Amino acid sequence: MDKKTQRPSVLIIYTGGTIGMVHRHGSNTLGPVKFDQILDEVPELHRFGYNLRSIAFNPPIDSSNMSPEIWVKTAKAIQKNYNNYDGFVILHGTDTMAYTASALSFMFENLDKPVILTGSQLPIGTLRTDGKENLITAVEIAAAKQNGKAMIPEVCIYFDFKLFRGNRTTKRDSENFSAFVSENYPSLALAGVDIRYYKQFIQYPSNKGILNVNYQFNTNVVVLKIFPGINKDVFDAVFHIPGLKGVILESFGTGNVPTTRWLLSCIKKAIRKNIIILNITQCQGGRVVMGQYETSIELLNSGVITGKDMTSEAAITKLMFLLGQKLSMNEIKNHLTKSLSGEISE
């Protein structure tokens, strides 16, 4: 809150992405513009009467180039300005937005202000852009309070009239405006004539405290997707990657894999080498329930960890995050099966 005027204050952090792109002169190639040009395209923002400020990454980051280093840079920008603003809006490319939202949700401890990621499928300067509505509503949600407290004290993604918990979200479509989905958790808000908040699904901080940000990640992880016909050479190559610390195993259905002896043998050897194996489903919705079918009982008995209903993005960032903390192997395994920031249904 702006103490001088009592106006809601929102910091907009422009990291890059389609929302800030324009067509290069004489070509169909998209390139970034200066952030001031984005605000010029959305003069409606000033009608809120909010205290709006902005930070722009230079150069802007294409979301395909997103990395833990950029997550840290983003988190530091929020931490530095945390006491001066009521909420934060991060403009981000859509391709890796769900990864960034998931990572930030684990990095922030004692978060009690909104951190809303948004972007667009069409550049802000195009006639039919979805960027204007996404940005305007994200700013309104970031500023929203009730009884002096933030309506949405979470890391979220706002896109196409829906607000999702960030670590429950996956990009499902590269062409439609409804680019994101949260299959295993309801929307936190819907924007229509009014913005309707669903308080029963919002996670409010139980422990009051100063914001703490954990910056360490260990990227020595890999995603291994099971498919019919996968062979032993693939498994051997993956599990012999130098320095490998963790594997996200994308299995069939509720956590099933082929019951071939060599596959189970590879997994058991990896676990004996203290490589963590986290089992998540390839399905967009649903959860892993190891032991429900015979094809997953051996995984359970071997020490493979259930990822329950985590998204792939949440599983990857959570594993990298936990491996980066000073935790014992048992502590990491224990935290993987429990909800840290609402990423798992208890």
Q: Are residues 77 and 204 in the same domain?
A: yes
Domain that holds residue 325: 221-336
Residue 118 catalytic? no
Task: Strand 195-197: give its sheet, edge to edge.
Answer: 51-56, 9-14, 87-91, 115-118, 155-159, 162-165, 189-191, 195-197
Q: Are residues 256 and 113 in the same domain?
A: no
Let me know if residue 129 belongs to a domain.
yes
Q: Are residues 50 and 191 in the same domain?
A: yes
E strand or H helix at 235: helix 232-239
Pick the catalytic residue from 18, 96, 169, 254.
18
DSSP codes joined into one string, 113-140: S-EEEE--SS-TTSTT-SHHHHHHHHHH
Q: Are residues 232 and 176 in the same domain?
A: no
Domain stop point among 213, 238, 260: 213
List the CATH number of the domain containing 118: 3.40.50.1170
Whole-angstrom CA distances from 163 to 147, 149, 248, 254 are: 21, 18, 27, 27
Q: Are residues 73 and 176 in the same domain?
A: yes
The Cα angle at residue 211 between residues 102 and 206, in degrees rounded to 5: 80
Q: Are residues 31 and 141 in the same domain?
A: yes
Q: Are residues 85 and 201 in the same domain?
A: yes
List the CATH number of the domain containing 235: 3.40.50.40
Domain stop point among 162, 196, 213: 213
pTM for the model stands at 0.94
Let me know if residue 284 belongs to a domain.
yes
Let me know if residue 343 belongs to a domain.
no
Residue 268 · residue 302 · CB < 8 Å: yes
Let me know if residue 2 belongs to a domain.
no
Give pLDDT tens digits along the chain (346 positions): 665 557 999 999 999 888 877 666 666 666 666 666 667 778 888 899 999 998 889 888 888 999 999 999 999 999 999 999 999 999 999 999 999 999 999 999 999 999 999 998 888 777 788 888 999 999 999 999 999 999 999 999 999 999 999 999 999 988 888 889 999 999 999 999 999 999 999 999 877 678 999 999 999 999 999 999 999 999 999 999 999 999 999 999 999 999 899 999 999 999 999 999 999 999 989 999 987 877 778 898 899 999 999 999 999 999 999 999 999 999 999 999 999 999 999 7
Domain stop point among 155, 190, 213: 213
Q: Are residues 250 and 207 in the same domain?
A: no
Let me know if residue 123 belongs to a domain.
yes
Number of domains in the chain: 2
Whole-angstrom CA distances from 104 to 90, 152, 304, 319 are: 11, 15, 26, 13
Let me know if residue 165 belongs to a domain.
yes
